[in-house]
Every structure is written in C-alpha cells, then in structure tokens.
C-alpha cells in the first residue's frame, strides 16, 4: 500500500497555481504516399501548433483543477489530386484540403488522495483506447477517466469515451474502427474500459485491460514484458502481447471471434540492439482497433502496415543503433524488415463490416515491409529538444494481396519544436 511518506508527499503537492504548466509544440509534417498502381500520389505538407495548459490541484484532501488545450493546423501544400495522405482534413470534393483547421477543449479534474477523476477532452494512451500522435496533431477523446495509485507498483485505470476528435479534423465524431465498415447511419454510442498496470519488480511490467465498444465488440488485452541486465553492456528483453476480440450487442460489424498475439526478443549490446518478433492472427476477420487510434500494442505494427489480416502470420527483424556510441548523442536509427502471409478466402463475403477483405485469389496472400527510421534531437542551446524525424517505408504484396492493398512507398519528415513556457 501507499506509505506514510507517500501520503505526506500528496498533501504537500503544489497548489492550483504552483502546480500549473503550459507547454507548446510546433510540428511541421510532410507525408508522401506513392501508391504504385494508382495515378495520383497522396502528398501533403502542413504546420501544426499545440498548446497544452495543465493546472495543479487546489489544496486539501480533495483538490480540483482544470486542463485546457488548443490546436491549429495549417496547409502548406496538398490538393489537386494529391490530398488524403491523412495529415489534413479530407477534401470537400474539389480535390483540395482546407487551408486551416482548428480545435480546442478542456478538462475538469478532481483528486482525492491517490485517485484522479477527469471529465472532458482527454489524451488517452492504453492498449484498448489510445489517441494517435503519429500525425500533425494528436487525437483526443471526450468522456471521463479515473486513475488510482493507492498500491505501490499498481495503477487502476477506467473510463468511458463517447466521442473522438480525429487527428485531421476540427470536430468530434462517434468512435468507429480502423478496418471495419459500419452500416450507413449506424454508430457505437461509447467505449468503456477498465484495466490494471503493474510494475512491482525491477525490469518486469504487465497490463490487463478489458473494453466494450458498444454494439460492436468486447476486447480483452494482456501483456508481460521483462528486461534482464547480464552486465553493464548486455541486456535481454522479452515480451508477449495478446488480444481477444468478440462481437457484442447488435454486432454492427457482424461476427467477430479473433485471438491475436505477438512475441518479441531483444538483445541489447552497448548502443546496438537486435529484435526478433513473431505475430499471429487467429480469426477470419482482421485484428481491429478504434479508428485512427494508437491502441494496437503489437510488435509487428509498422509504419505502413499492421500485419493484422485474417489468419495472418508474420515475423520481423529489427536493428537499432544509438549514435551516442560514436560521439553523436541525440541521433538514433532503426532498420526493420517484416513479412506476412494471410488467407483472405476464409473471410465471410457477407460479413457486415469485413466483406471487403474477402478475395478468392488470396488463399496464400503475402506482403513485406521495409522500414528505415532516423531521428535527431538537439541536446543543448537555444534549439534544445528540437527533433527532426525521417521515416521511409516500402510495402509490397503478392499472391492475391493486391485485392487488399496496393504496393506503396511512403516518406515522412517530421520536425517538432517543443517549448515549456512555465
């Protein structure tokens, strides 16, 4: 349980004003998706701004506070047939994204001892509901959340979200899914979740979560991750992620009975690391998660493909290097290769939500992806924490995979400049 010292720290925590912070981030984002079997590429370039204010809590055993944020996205290029890369709003039919889009939101919060309750616009990041922060602006959710840290090494997490603000839109929508197609006029009214995170032993962490996307699915998640240091230079890391998804209520996407897991093993040696991963989807529907969400905690979810197709088996090899070993701190790199095989013939062609995945020629469909990632973070000076991130992905398919997706080359350049005002 929480110690007396911990309780004293809570009572002595900064007040509403003293505990407040204001952080800004300017993100410049360029994305180029070259779909080789199509005549038009998806190319967009934008500038995003995010301001996030977080107050402390008023004094006393029960404290109150408020968070607020504002976002602005500006189009620098994109249109005339080159839009829809996903960083700017979908065009209104004229082939051009709007010149700007913006949104703002707030959250009321209350703290009682070791429990924090929030209501409003939330930034969430757990295995069953997580906002995507891989585009120009982040995704948020509207609802309530509760976290509790009463027991040392444990966190209890629960909540309900009814709406989401997608990363490339100004307004809110109902929560949909990334790969299923809901019938016209049908929506899920909310997503409920509850989970426990544990980190009670050095190097060992575990999470257990359950979620209900009303009238679509119940989803359950478990993971276990362990890192063991053989010496100051050599470390071993292994882990497993497991999801079970099944339809519920009105089953708006049809029948779902899906078990998906991934395993990884990493050897770290100084500034080098090598990772091998295996992933398996058991089910005649793809492993699905909330639309635009980052709630896919699987090892083979890559820059372009998630390797999550029906009955898909995939593996990955990844090499990472930290250039601090060559006297260049802040510069890191990753190179990976992933390959998957899936069976599209077992998909129900009459499925409410996944019929588009069916292909009579896709019994032994295959695809592979190669990813290169290079990032530099300025370590000191006036530009400290400015980050330049470059990503390249190449995805190719065969044996009927073309019925699902086209061969694609994707390039991203992301520049972040964070600023702590106070």
Provide, for the chain, the percentages of residues in helix, strand and coil under a 3-state DSSP scheme, each rounded to the nearest 5: 5, 55, 40
Task: Calculate the CA dihedral of residues 308, 309, 310, 316 and round it to 10 degrees.
Answer: -60
Tell me what the pLDDT averaged over the chain comes to: 92
Q: Would you state the pLDDT for residue 94? A: 64
Task: Return the higher-pLDDT residue of 81 and 22.
Answer: 22
Segment among 57-61, 257-261, 274-278 with least mean pLDDT: 57-61
Q: What pLDDT digit, counting tens, does each position of 177-221 carry?
A: 999 999 888 999 999 999 999 998 999 999 999 999 999 999 999
Which of 303, 302, 295 has its CA nearest to residue 130? Answer: 295
Q: Would you state the pLDDT for residue 13? A: 66
| CB 403, CB 28: distance < 8 Å | no
CA angle 155, 157, 161 (to 5 degrees): 160
Which residues have a Cβ under 8 Å from the Cβ of 119 and sit 6 or more positions away?
A: 107, 108, 109, 143, 144
Retrieve residue 37's tokens: 């079997």
CA 300 to chain centre: 13
| pLDDT band at 279; cut points 50, 70, 90 | very high
| pLDDT band at 422; cut points 50, 70, 90 | very high
Distance, first Cα to last Cα, the chain: 33
Task: Calculate the CA dihedral of residues 117, 123, 124, 129 and round it to 10 degrees.
Answer: 120
Judged against a pLDDT cut of 50, whether residue 392 lies above it is answered with yes
Compute the average pLDDT of residues 90-108.
83
Segment among 39-48, 79-88, 399-408 with least mean pLDDT: 79-88
Q: Where are the domains of the chain?
A: 107-415
Compute the average pLDDT of residues 51-63.
95
The CATH superfamily of 107-415 is Porin (2.40.160.10)
CA 88 to chain centre: 18
| pLDDT band at 336; cut points 50, 70, 90 | very high
| pLDDT band at 83; cut points 50, 70, 90 | low
Compute the average pLDDT of residues 370-376.
98
Judged against a pLDDT cut of 60, whether residue 119 lies above it is answered with yes
Compute the average pLDDT of residues 339-363.
94
This prediction has a pTM of 0.93
Which of 65, 28, 39, 147 has its CA nearest to residue 388? Answer: 28
| pLDDT band at 294; cut points 50, 70, 90 | confident
Q: Would you state the pLDDT for residue 2? A: 41
* Residue 65 to residue 57: CA distance in whole angstroms: 5
Compute the average pLDDT of residues 250-275.
97
Compute the average pLDDT of residues 351-379.
95
| pLDDT band at 92; cut points 50, 70, 90 | low
Q: What is the per-residue burial (b if ≥16 Cβ within 10 Å, else e) of 369-392?
A: bbbebebbeeeeeeeeebbbbbbb
Q: What pLDDT digit, counting tens, does each position of 120-152 carry?
A: 999 999 999 999 899 999 999 999 999 999 999
Judged against a pLDDT cut of 50, whether residue 6 lies above it is answered with no
| CB 346, CB 362: distance < 8 Å | no
Q: Is 361 helix (H, G, I), strand (E, B) or coil?
A: coil
């Amino acid at each position: 349980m929480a110690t007396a010292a911990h309780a004293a720290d809570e009572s002595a925590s900064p007040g509403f004003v003293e505990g407040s912070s204001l952080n800004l981030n300017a993100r410049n984002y360029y994305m180029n998706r070259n779909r080789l079997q199509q005549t038009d590429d998806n190319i967009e370039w934008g500038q995003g701004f995010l301001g996030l204010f977080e107050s402390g809590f008023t004094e006393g055993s029960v404290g109150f506070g408020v968070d607020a944020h504002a976002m602005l996205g500006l189009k620098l290029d994109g249109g005339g047939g080159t839009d829809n890369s996903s960083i700017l709003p979908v065009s209104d039919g004229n082939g051009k994204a709007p010149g700007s889009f913006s949104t703002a939101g707030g959250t009321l919060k209350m703290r009682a001892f070791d429990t924090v309750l929030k209501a409003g616009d939330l930034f969430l990041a757990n295995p069953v509901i997580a906002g995507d922060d891989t585009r120009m602006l982040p995704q948020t959710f509207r609802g309530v959340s509760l976290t509790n840290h009463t027991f040392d090494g444990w966190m209890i997490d629960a909540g309900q979200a009814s709406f989401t603000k997608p990363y490339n839109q100004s307004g809110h929508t109902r929560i949909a899914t990334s790969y299923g197609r809901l019938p016209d006029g049908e929506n899920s009214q909310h997503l409920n979740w509850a989970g426990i995170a544990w980190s009670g032993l050095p190097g060992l962490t575990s999470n257990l979560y359950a979620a209900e996307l009303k009238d679509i699915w119940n989803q359950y998640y478990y993971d276990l991750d362990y890192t063991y240091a053989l010496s100051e230079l050599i470390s071993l890391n292994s882990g497993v992620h497991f999801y079970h998804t099944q339809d519920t209520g009105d089953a708006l996407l049809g029948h779902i009975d899906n078990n998906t897991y991934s395993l990884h093993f990493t050897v770290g040696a100084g500034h080098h690391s090598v990772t091998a991963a295996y992933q398996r989807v058991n089910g005649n529907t793809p492993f699905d998660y909330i639309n635009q969400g980052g709630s896919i905690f699987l090892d083979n979810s890559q820059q372009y493909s998630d390797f999550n197709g029906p009955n898909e088996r995939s593996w990955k090899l990844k090499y990472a290097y930290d250039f601090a070993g060559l006297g260049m701190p802040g510069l890191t790199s990753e190179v990976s290769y992933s390959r998957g095989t899936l069976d599209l013939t077992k998909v129900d062609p009459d499925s409410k939500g996944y019929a588009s995945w069916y292909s009579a020629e896709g019994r032994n469909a295959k695809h592979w992806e190669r990813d290169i990632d290079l990032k530099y973070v300025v370590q000191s000076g006036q530009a400290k924490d400015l980050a330049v991130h470059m990503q390249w992905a190449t995805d190719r398919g065969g044996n009927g995979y073309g019925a699902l997706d086209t061969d694609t080359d994707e390039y991203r350049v992301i520049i972040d400049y964070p600023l702590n005002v106070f």
